[in-house]
Amino acid sequence: QVQLVQSGAEVKKPGSSVKVSCKASGGIFSSSTITWVRHAPRQGLEWVGSIVPIFGTAKYAQKFQGRVTIIADEATSTVYMEFSSLTSDDTAFYYCANVVGGDWFDPWGQGTLLTVSS
């Protein structure tokens, strides 16, 4: 059973970058697909992007293309999501999740709160 543990809360200034980690255990990391979803205040859930570690290539929601990079470190079974050019609109909980079967998400990491404020 895959378990996902994310890095802690972050506070960043507008215009800066952040890197959030998601460490997997209990499953076959390389052949998994890990996805990132965010939940901004008063907003719904929003898919950010995904990666298959064994292939190393990521796909992103067009909205975030150019500002987000997802990479995988097979040696440590960790996926990283880096967001650049942060604005207050990026303030949100960011979740990683394991993609299963017909692209449903289970389980999810505990979430990482990113606050962007001057």
- Site residues (vs another protein, CB under 8 A): 35, 37, 39, 44-47, 50, 59, 61-63, 95, 97, 100-111
Shortest distance in whole angstroms from residue 49 CB to another protein: 9
Helix (H, G, I), strand (E, B) or coil at 43: coil
Shortest distance in whole angstroms from residue 108 CB to another protein: 4
Q: In angstroms, rounded to a whole number, what is the distance separating the alpha carbons of residues 4 and 35?
A: 11
Q: Across-strand partners of 115?
A: 11
Shortest distance in whole angstroms from residue 14 CB to another protein: 25
Nearer to another protein, 33 or 77 (CB): 33
Positive or negative: CA dihedral 34, 55, 25, 103 = positive
Are 79 and 68 within 8 A, CB to CB? no
Nearer to another protein, 75 or 103 (CB): 103
Helix (H, G, I), strand (E, B) or coil at 53: coil
Q: Give the residue among 9, 30, 25, 36 at the shortest CA–CA distance from 95.
A: 36
Shortest distance in whole angstroms from residue 38 CB to another protein: 11
